[in-house]
Structure 1
Amino acid sequence: MNIQGKLMIIGGAVDKGSFTEASFDINVANNLNFFETGILKRLILESKHKEKSRIEVVTTASKIPREVGPEYVKAFQFLNATNVDVLHIEKREQATDPEVLARIKAADVVMFTGGDQLRLTSILGGTELHDIILDKYRNEDFVYAGTSAGAAAASNNMIYQGSSSEALLKGEVKITSGLGLIDDVTIDTHFVQRGRIGRLFQAVVGNPKVLGIGLGEDTGLLIIENKMEAIGSGLVILVDGRQIKDTNLTQVELGQPVSINNLVVHVMSKYDTYDLKTNKMYIQSSQYEVDLLDKNPETVK
């Protein structure tokens, strides 16, 4: 399928400050790190009408939607994107409301906030709103953006529970169906800071065809067709299980440690890319590209 839309998945942010502060403009450097990393600015640039794009912020995953929504509106407004509003969808019935559906249909960008990804999928999954988003992503110049829970829910396979410290004990990581914008990946967020690499290991060993994506905070991926580009200040961890040679997964009891032989891990930083079709990673500032250029400038274009 030739996907026309774009996907921006973000790992979340810890030191984001508050856009409800009276001194917001004065202390902007200490506020939402998306300014420093350029994530929200990049989101606007990738949208159909740039600063004039219609952006809907959906707070379904959050337990404090009335606080979260206005912060994102102010964040976008600071970047001169003023055609922004918030949709508080807290019940499945609201996902069939004609006014809500009309707003989603008119949106160039839908931004899903953080919170609980299981709450997000259980409320929106299988609704007309969900169908509209999938259709827009597949067939229009549309951006699905999600941070934290909104990112985790974007894939077909969604991690919704699992202790970081015991993630490599069989059965500890719980996986269900996500919103299904992208297949053959599973996404985990707040990845580096919360030590969640074991969760991806177990998710991948259960089906090595699935690429594990771990998003650090203040970090994300911009996915256009088969190309993923790292954005933000931190790290993206990719766990590739296609070369796994052996595991004890089916031999041990629930709660017992899982062994994996020959699991491949990639680490991406800003501007690095990964091709989902060829399963190859490209480092933007490769030291080997520099060495080759220094030795024979004519051979490198």
Structure 2
Amino acid sequence: MVGAKSREQSDEESKQQSPVLKSQGQLIIIGGAEDKEGDCTILREFVRRASGRGAKIAVMTVATSLPGEVGSDYRDIFERLGVEKVDIVDTERREDASDPRYLEILKEATGVFFTGGDQARVTDVLKDTEIDKLLHERFAQGLVIAGTSAGAAMMPDIMIVEGEAETNPRLETVTLEPGMGFLPGVAIDQHFAQRGRLGRLISALIQQPAVLGFGIDENTAIAVKEDEIEVIGEGAITIIDVANITHTNVDETLHDESLAICGAKLHVIPHGYRFDLRKRECKC
């Protein structure tokens, strides 16, 4: 468990800040199982934001145990959408994160796409490496970064590594570790409605200094630019806002006991809706 926040910290400090993207770049955070054969709405939007047919896409296969197969599949998809330059960045070991070939690809890329798999592999292999540093530098300059499933889970500064589904919130429900920090100050869970992950998202959110939790359904994504989120895809986004909670028992419960949270706010928004990160309000 990454240190549970105290009641006083929740009310006095962390809940006063909203997670605004301090970068010129954009994020496309996908809940997994995105359409790859039909309209490809989400992947199409990623390509469009990454310069369209002139995009240079780098596919990061670090999370998957089948990098050759998965990388090839995404290459075919992006080429079918009209992208002429698609490169696979296959970092199986930490040493690969300083490979000059991969660094050159990422220096030229207009869009970087993280596949699904195991989010712990992403941080184990990439965090605090040359690729990590370069991605954050390029992101600050305007790079578009997308990630699906595990590639979505790794986006915050504190990520959900694993946890129970279809259960009530408890401290033991989730395991948290440092993420890649592209969207700090939030909690993110994916495959959300399909796997019944409300309890584990709440458990993750209440144990860290985060203001908002985002539960992203399959074939659904949030596009994040500056202080605004846009929902894309066939499902919905569940947003939990704990900025003004009136009570939580997080300091008093034992590891396996149920958590209480009073005064939290819930939003559920589908395709086309927007959410203001600064004001924490929905936009129709």
Question: Is the TM value for this pair above 0.5?
Answer: yes
Aligned to 1:158: 159
The CA deviation string for residues 232-281 of structure 1, in whole angstroms up to 9 with x for no partner, is 11111111111211122221211111122122111011110111111111
**How far, CA to CA, are the matches of 2:211 and 2:119 in structure 1?**
19
- Whole-angstrom distance in 2 between the partners of 1:212 and 1:114: 20
Which residue pairs with 1:266 in the alignment?
267
| Among candidates 38, 42, 46, match of residue 39 of structure 1 | 42
SS of the aligned residue for 2:181 comes to: coil
Query: Aligned Cα RMSD in Å?
Result: 1.5
Uncovered stretches (5+) of structure 2, i.e. residues with no partner? 1-20
Residues 37 and 254 from structure 1, CA distance in 2 versus in 1: closer, same or farther, beyond 3 angstroms?
A: same
Deviation of 1:2 (Å): 4.5
| CA apart distance, 1:211 | 0.8
2:29 paired with 1:9: yes
Q: Match of 1:179, as an amino acid?
A: M
Measured after TM superposition, the shift of residue 172 of structure 1 is 2.2
The aligned counterpart of 1:72 is 74
Larger radius of gyration: 1
The residue correspondences of 1:285-300 to structure 2 (distance < 5 A) are none
Q: Greater relative contact order (Cα 8 A, min sep 6): structure 1 or 2? A: 2
Q: Deviations over 1:273-293 (max 9, x none)?
A: 11111111112xxxxxxxxxx
Runs of 4+ in structure 1 deviating by more than 6 angstroms, as ranges, are: none
- Corresponding position of 1:115: 117
Whether the 8 Å CA contact 2:166–2:195 is kept in 1: the answer is no
Taking a change above 3 Å as real, the CA distance of residues 2 and 183 of structure 1, as seen in their structure-2 partners, is closer
Give how far 1:98 is off: 1.1
Post-superposition Cα deviations, 1:44-95, rounded to whole Å, max 9, x if no partner, equal 1111x31121101011000111111111111111111121121111100000
Structure 1: gaps spanning 5 or more residues:
17-31, 284-301
1:190-245 Cα offsets, whole Å, 9 max, x none, are: 11100001111112222464310111000001111111000011111111111211
State how far apart, in whole Å, the 1-side matches of 2:91 and 2:215 are: 27
**Number of paired residues?**
264
What residue number does 2:143 align with?
142
Give the TM-score normalised by the residue count of structure 2: 0.89
Distance 1:232 1:167 in 2: 27
In structure 2, what residue type is equivalent to 1:39?
I
8 A contact 1:152–1:189 mirrored in 2? yes
